[in-house]
Chain A
Amino acid sequence: MNTVNFNVDGQDISAKKGMTVMEACEEHGITIPKLCQHEALENVMACRLCSVEVNGKQILPSCGLQVDDGLKIQTQTDHLKKYRRKILELIYRSENHYCMFCESDGDCELQDLMYEHEIDRFEFPRMYPEWPVDSSHDYIIKDSNRCIRCGRCVRACDEVVGNHTLSLGGRGINNRIIVDAGVPLGESTCTSCGMCLQVCPTGAIFSKLSMFKGVKKECDMTTTTCLSCSMGCGTNVYTKTGHIVEIEGADIHKESGGQLCEFGRFKPLANKGERIKNVILREDGEEKELSLSEGLEKASEMLVKSYRISAYASGDLTCEDLDAFAYAMRAHGALFDVVGAKRHRFETEVKRRINMIEGHFVTDIREIMKADNILLYDTSIYHTHPILASYIRRATSNGTKLITIDAYEDKFWNHSDKSITIESPKTQLTRLVNQVIKEGKASIEDLSRVSSILGGLRVHPKDVMEIVNLLEEATYDIIIIGDEIIDRWSLRHIFELAKLEGSYVISLNHAGNQYIKNLETEGVYEEPEVAYILAGDEEDQADMKELIEKADFSIVQSARRSELTEMADLVIPSLTMFEREGTTIDINGVKNKVERITEPKGGIRSEIGFFEELAKMR
């Protein structure tokens, strides 16, 4: 039997075996107060607020109690209510709660529960313990004065982020949240994901970028998709009078646990670059401001009279933006490319050459958490694809072996079982691994001899053997290739290795929108007459700068002033991530909606309309 029948407050209910009493009750619309429980996290039964009366005798926390046949549960007796009021008051008086100036006033689960339990007076004296406030982090303030030690943040950092930065330290009334071995948050191993503040029920951890901007309960909330990387995380964006108050992860029921990374949660609010309101033309050493239609004229004039035109777009735009830009640029005979597309083209070419079938590619990146082994080429994904990195960290916490191969320091150093540092190209190492797998272990002897003759080869035969052994003993291994690997030979050897070993592959590129895989792109002229760069929100792409430097005339379309716009001859306003609208495709190939969150505040309303006009003017 998979269902059990029991009774709650006189009502017969049935629930799936394995569920907790709290979950079963919630499913039936019976709410039980809670503080330490969070749907994305394991239950630890720390606060006891959810306690219920079981079979008329015991009082047990419902978040940790499994449903069972014949249980008689009471959730709202007078005794329980009194008990809960005491718990709430004891929690409140043990710390320093000053709701009147607390950042979380109005958005606080403790406060909500105090109201719900109609606590208008105190029975116990307050303690006034002295706790520190840690504001060392760029985005996060950790105020122990409001911390109720529910441990949600600790669990979130462990279970969801896989980062283990936070833990409970000290004993008894001195028990509190500590960072690493007791360092300030700003100097810790924290990845700035902000998951801890998203789950914190009180004002004990909050964002500097959102503080005192508004009560979330009074905001409008829109669910959209982050365009910053190919994970395509769902985000809940809270706005008040047209301004963004806070950004939270939306996919709380998915494996991501509602995570976001620095780029999704903080960066969009931290971006302080001045918005571009007018077209800027730099001619004969002078800077002129033009209207948008004059800018359109100027752009088309330059495009019409030129032959070698390179059009290059950010990969963090919607499918519709990319289509419109590509169409306009093609109409003017430009060669068209998008950030990240080059890597994809190499990949396609190599796949064709070695006959690699699509079946080798992981179609759901959450598979990472099921792998026996992970072989990771390029650890910079720690910063470029933080959510994917969190899956890798979580996997290693569950026993998955991780080998990293990087030219520089291993950014997963405290998670990997082996770090191999080898300069680019990684091709020799992988080639040797392939040889050994094909020809047997004896061949490593020959190979190392050959390589020492060739000289310059710094591959250690031991490293090769370690990779071989690991791959051979595992049944499910995943090879992850970061976006820094862009030489064809490395890709080829890695793909061959995957073929040989039957490994699955996750291959990452720089583009936020994986629509680049469906788009026709090509390499652009390196020294064009005109370079047209659609930068959107992007600021410091090295390859964009290079293209501007080599072009006779450069057009940069950007939302904000940046190094790019300072270099350009013609600057045209663009939209930010939250002003765009359309769709985006994530790494799993799923199409997600991008909603317009704020009205355009720069000098352009419809970028797509602008490109439609431009396409006509030839």
Chain B
Amino acid sequence: MAENKPKVATACMCGCSGCHMSFLDVDEFVKDLAELVEFQSSHVIMDVKEIEKVDIGIMEGTITNDENVEVAKKMRENCDILVAWGDCACFGGIMTMRNFEKVDKILEECYLEKSDEESVVPDDELIPTLTDKAKGLDEIIDVDVYIPGCPPSADVIRYGLEKLLEGEIPKLDKDKLRY
């Protein structure tokens, strides 16, 4: 009964898409999954930008700009269970290495000091503004499921999804947990 399938949305904030790549590594399970759930939006498999009401919302990446904040909040509002995929979403991950410097200083260094003469610090209003610190998801919204890993292995991603589909909130034990 197609209409009873749980709906899933996935989104990528400031991440490398590695978690989504790792998700695609579940191989033939994608096929099973396509029968078990309905994807509402997911940038790696479909071209839908708007997040609508879903049962499971999955997020990869760190919160580093105001667009990330907006997307995260929208996802939280629209899903019942929010899953953080990967170290970035769970803890902040590698992006937090920018937290050692002030944002202005970083932009200056990247676009002026370490660039050619014509380079300027981008300030187009279409470009999202960086937050003062790079943050893990749960510093902005509530997270229900944590699947850390950089990236989490396909097995762990699959385990998490299977548990969710069985109606449980997965928690990784010491054999599955990796940073």
Partner of B94, one of A101, A120, A125: A101
Partner of A118, one of B91, B94, B177: B177
- Verify B94–A122 contact, CB threshold 8 A: no
Of all chain B residues, the one with the shortest Cβ separation from A131 is B100
Q: CB-defined interface of B81-96 with A at 8 Å, one 1/0 digit per residue? A: 0000001001111101
- Verify A98–B94 contact, CB threshold 8 A: yes
Q: CB-defined interface of A116-157 with B at 8 Å, one 1/0 digit per residue? A: 101111100110101000000000000000000000000000
Of all chain A residues, the one with the shortest Cβ separation from B177 is A115
Q: A100-B87, A101-B94, A121-B146 are in contact. Are A114 and B179 (CB under 8 A)?
A: yes
A111 within 8 A of B: yes
Spot the interface stretch: B25-33, B35-43, B107-115, B168-176: B168-176
Partner of B148, one of A120, A126, A130: A120
Q: A121-B90, A121-B138, A121-B143 are in contact. Are A126 and B171 (CB under 8 A)?
A: no
Q: For the complex, what is the distance from the CA of A98 to the CA of B100, rounded to whole Å? A: 13
B127 within 8 A of A: no
B71 within 8 A of A: no
- Verify A100–B94 contact, CB threshold 8 A: yes
Contacting residues, chain B, for A125 (C-beta < 8 A): 139
Contacting residues, chain B, for A121 (C-beta < 8 A): 90-91, 138, 143, 146
Name the distance in Å between A217's Cβ and chain B's nearest Cβ: 13
A168 within 8 A of B: no
Q: A121-B138, A121-B143, A130-B100 are in contact. Are A99 and B177 (CB under 8 A)?
A: no
- Verify B93–A100 contact, CB threshold 8 A: yes
Name the distance in Å between B18's Cβ and chain A's nearest Cβ: 10
Q: A99-B179, A100-B179 are in contact. Are A120 and B146 (CB under 8 A)?
A: yes
Contacting residues, chain B, for A120 (C-beta < 8 A): 90, 146-148, 171-172, 177
B131 within 8 A of A: no
Contacting residues, chain A, for B136 (C-beta < 8 A): 122
- Verify B174–A99 contact, CB threshold 8 A: no
Contacting residues, chain A, for B92 (C-beta < 8 A): 126
Contacting residues, chain B, for A115 (C-beta < 8 A): 174, 177-178
Q: For the complex, what is the distance from the CA of A119 to the CA of B92, rounded to whole Å? A: 15
Which residues from 66 to 81 on chain B have a C-beta closer than 8 Å to any C-beta of chain A?
A: none
Name the distance in Å between A43's Cβ and chain B's nearest Cβ: 26
- Verify A99–B150 contact, CB threshold 8 A: yes
Q: For the complex, what is the distance from the CA of A120 to the CA of B179, rounded to whole Å? A: 9
Chain B residues proximal to chain A, CB less than 8 Å: 87, 90-94, 96-97, 99-100, 136, 138-139, 143, 146-148, 150, 171-174, 177-179
List 26 contacting pairs A-B, 8 Å CB cutoff, sorted by A. A98-B94, A98-B97, A99-B150, A99-B179, A100-B87, A100-B93, A100-B94, A101-B94, A115-B177, A118-B171, A118-B173, A118-B174, A118-B177, A119-B177, A120-B147, A120-B148, A120-B171, A121-B138, A121-B146, A125-B139, A126-B92, A126-B96, A126-B99, A128-B99, A128-B100, A130-B100
Question: What 9 A-B pairs come out closest when comparing CB atoms?
Answer: A100-B150, A99-B179, A120-B146, A115-B174, A128-B99, A115-B177, A121-B146, A116-B174, A120-B148
Given A100-B150, A118-B174, 5 extra CB contacts under 8 A: A99-B87, A99-B179, A100-B93, A100-B94, A121-B90
